[in-house]
C-alpha cells in the first residue's frame, strides 16, 4: 500500500528555533509520510544554537537546517503545502502569502525560548519546554486518522492540537 506524502510548513517570524524544531521533529518522526519545511516572515539568517544542540542531544538530524524566508514557499515551483502551521504568536497575526492549493492551517503557539533572558539553565529549560510541547503536538498530529476525517473535521483537530501542552 502506498501512502500520500503530506507537505507541512511551520511558520515563525524569525525561523530560528520553534519552527526549525518542528520541521526537524516531523521530518524524523513522520519520515516517508510527511515532508516538513519551516520559514519566517523575518528570518534571523541563522538557526539558534540552543535549538541545534537540543535537537542533536535528542538524536535528531540537524544537517541542512537553515533560517529562510516564507517567500521561498509562495513562489512558482515551490512544493505545494497541505498544512501551514504557525508556532509563534507574531506569525499568527501577520498577513501570510497566499499558499497555492488552499492548505489547512492552524495556530500552534509556543512561547519563544529565544526571548528568554536569564541564566544558562533558564534558557535551556525554555528550549526544552518548547521542544516537549512541539514533540507532543506533532506526535498527536501523526496519529490522526487522515483517511477517516473530512476537511472540516481535520481543521478542527488541527486547532485542538494547538491547545495541547507539553
pLDDT tens readout for residues 56-79: 999 999 999 999 999 999 888 999
pLDDT of residue 97: 72
User: Could you report the per-residue pLDDT of 131-144, keeping only the tens digit for each?
Assistant: 999 999 999 999 99
Question: Average per-residue pLDDT in the chain?
Answer: 91
pLDDT of residue 74: 86
Distance CA 146, CA 70 (A): 26
Choosing from 8, 9, 11, 12, the catalytic residue is 12
Q: How confident is the model at residue 96 (pLDDT cuts 50, 70, 90)?
A: low
Q: How confident is the model at residue 1 (pLDDT cuts 50, 70, 90)?
A: very low
Choosing from 47, 51, 88, 134, the catalytic residue is 88
Distance CA 50, CA 25 (A): 15
What share of the chain has pLDDT > 90, as a percent? 81
Sheet with 104-107, edge to edge strand ranges:
34-39, 6-11, 83-86, 104-107
Query: Does residue 12 carry a catalytic annotation?
Result: yes
Distances (CA, A) of 45 to 13, 14, 17, 27: 11, 8, 11, 21
Which has more pLDDT, 100 or 123?
123
User: Could you report the per-residue pLDDT of 14-55, keeping only the tens digit for each?
Assistant: 999 999 999 999 999 999 899 999 999 899 999 999 999 999
pLDDT of residue 93: 57
pLDDT at residue 129 tops 90: yes
Instruction: Write down all domains in the chain, each with its CATH number in brackets.
Output: 6-161 (3.40.50.2300)
Choosing from 96, 107, 139, 159, the catalytic residue is 96
pTM score above 0.85: yes
C-alpha cell read off for 144 = 490522526
Query: Does residue 88 carry a catalytic annotation?
Result: yes
Amino acid at each position: 500500500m502506498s501512502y500520500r506524502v503530506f507537505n507541512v510548513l511551520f511558520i515563525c517570524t524569525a525561523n530560528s528555533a520553534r519552527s526549525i524544531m518542528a520541521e526537524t521533529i516531523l521530518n524524523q518522526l513522520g519520515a516517508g509520510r510527511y515532508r516538513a519545511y519551516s520559514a519566517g516572515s523575518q528570518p534571523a539568517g541563522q538557526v539558534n544554537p540552543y535549538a541545534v544542540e537540543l535537537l542533536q542531544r535528542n538524536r535528531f538530524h540537524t544537517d541542512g537546517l537553515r533560517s529562510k524566508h516564507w517567500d521561498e514557499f509562495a513562489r512558482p515551483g515551490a512544493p505545494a503545502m497541505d498544512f501551514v502551521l504557525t508556532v509563534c504568536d507574531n506569525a499568527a497575526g501577520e498577513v501570510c502569502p497566499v499558499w497555492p492549493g488552499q492548505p489547512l492551517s492552524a495556530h500552534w503557539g509556543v512561547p519563544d525560548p529565544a526571548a528568554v533572558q536569564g541564566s544558562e539553565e533558564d534558557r535551556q529549560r525554555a528550549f526544552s519546554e518548547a521542544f516537549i510541547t512541539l514533540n507532543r503536538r506533532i506526535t498527536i498530529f501523526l496519529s490522526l486518522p487522515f483517511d477517516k476525517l473530512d476537511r472540516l473535521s481535520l481543521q478542527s483537530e488541527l486547532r485542538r492540537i494547538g491547545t495541547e501542552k507539553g
